[in-house]
Chain A
Amino acid sequence: MLTKRIIPCLDIKNGRTVKGINFINLRDAGDPVELASKYASENADELVFLDISATEQKRKTLAALVLKVASAIDIPFTVGGGIGDLEDVEILLKNGADKVSINSAAVKTPNLIDEMAYQFGSQCIVVAIDAKQIEGKWKVHLVGGKVPTTLNLFDWAKEVEQRGAGELLFTSMDHDGTKKGFANEALAELSQIVNIPIIASGGAGNISHFSATFTEGKADAALAASVFHFGEISIPELKSELQKQKIPVRL
């Protein structure tokens, strides 16, 4: 049986791991390769690296990091953050990334999704969507949630699926950093609308939040950062608890 995935997310800035609380205050949480190996050995199912650096050497630094990660770990990983064109994707995949995640560039140039899926295959194209509710409507936001767009979350999700995305990474900006649980209602609705896997992100605070997002939220995978980085939740403990609740996980 296909299992639900637990995905630690490593925010990367200039080759180091950081995690922003609500995407603003950054705290150093270690060396990415070391942290990645630790998570792989603890049975994390997958990893996401989100590069938030904005330097000119960014592309080179990130490619070098991806290569180091690929040599060290034997589970799949996704790389995202500022990916803007086909060349970015090609460099990351060639250096050992399994999937890439695109966000703002997809909103600005939706056709990029089609081109990337055609050239590299849908299986490696993840579209990340950051959204929050404005007057009761889920609106897509850009630049780490700072810039609102007029796009409706559910319309956009449907469109990215039709354009060839292989997976959705949905972050609720209303839940991110709150540690009060994932946006399960919106997640369940997304699962009704699209037929590609959905990663829930934003709001993980305790183990019951994970079980809720898999049951109520119908998520295929759940992503979190600080609860793992600061040892508030251990992955083996989380997975054994999920198994007790009859949620299929890989132990």
Chain B
Amino acid sequence: MNIAIIDYGAGNTKSLQFAIERLGVTSILTSDANTIQQADKVIFPGQGAAQSAMVKLKQNKLDLLLPRLTQPVLGICLGMQLLCEKTEEGNVKGLGILSATVKRFSSQVKVPQMGWNSIQSLQSSLFEHLSSGTYMYLVHSYFVPVIPETIAQSNYDGLYSVAVQKGNFYGVQFHPEKSSKAGQVVLQNFLNLT
């Protein structure tokens, strides 16, 4: 199986590669359009600021390539947020695969949300073998509201989308590569998708 992790300067892709390696699969970190197009699965990681991430994606025309991919794609953290139409973070335009707008947590809660939160209302084969109430590791200041494409929710400053799916595009707000055994199950489920 060919797994392409999109390389656009997002932080800590090493841990993601190690997590996939622990499942017995090797991945390639790449910004090459052909390699990405030919991969069986594509992972779109993300960490850092939305604005600089979009700038880096555009430098390699990855902003045009990504929405056209037909194999399973998994956006992680900022990678999930950038699947949306736009984000309040710097008023940046995203990839527009989902029509949602990414919002900032209010000052009623500590921002960023940092740590392990439970996920619920699981509605996808991405969560097979996992039950509602499973904990995942999250670090984020912005969130995707609950939308028709929501496949899992979490509660912080109210309910929000902790995972989304539209066609072959999946997004998780948590870091599966950092979420211990439960995160490993999600990655394995993603690798199992056809």
Contacts and interface: CB of A to CB of B under 8 A. Distances in A.
Interface of A: 1-5, 40, 43, 45-46, 67, 70-71, 74-76, 93-98, 118, 120-124, 166-167, 195-197, 220-221, 250
Interface stretch (B9-17, B35-43, B165-173): B9-17
B115 A96 contact: no
B135 interface: yes
B30 interface: no
Contact of A5 (B14, B48, B116): B116
A123 B110 CA distance: 12
B47 A250 contact: no
Interface residue tally on B, bucketed by range: 35 or more
Contacts, number: 97
A118 B49 CA distance: 8
Contact of A1 (B47, B118, B180): B118
B116 A74 contact: no
B11 A197 contact: no
A3 B175 contact: no
Chain B at the A interface: mostly helix, strand, loop or mixed?
mixed
Chain A at the B interface: mostly helix, strand, loop or mixed?
loop
B11 A93 contact: yes
A86 to B, nearest CB: 13
Contacts of A45: 115-116
Contacts of A97: 12
B179 A74 contact: yes
Contact of B155 (A1, A71, A123, A220): A1
Nearest to A74: B180
Given A75-B180, A220-B110, A3 B140 contact: no
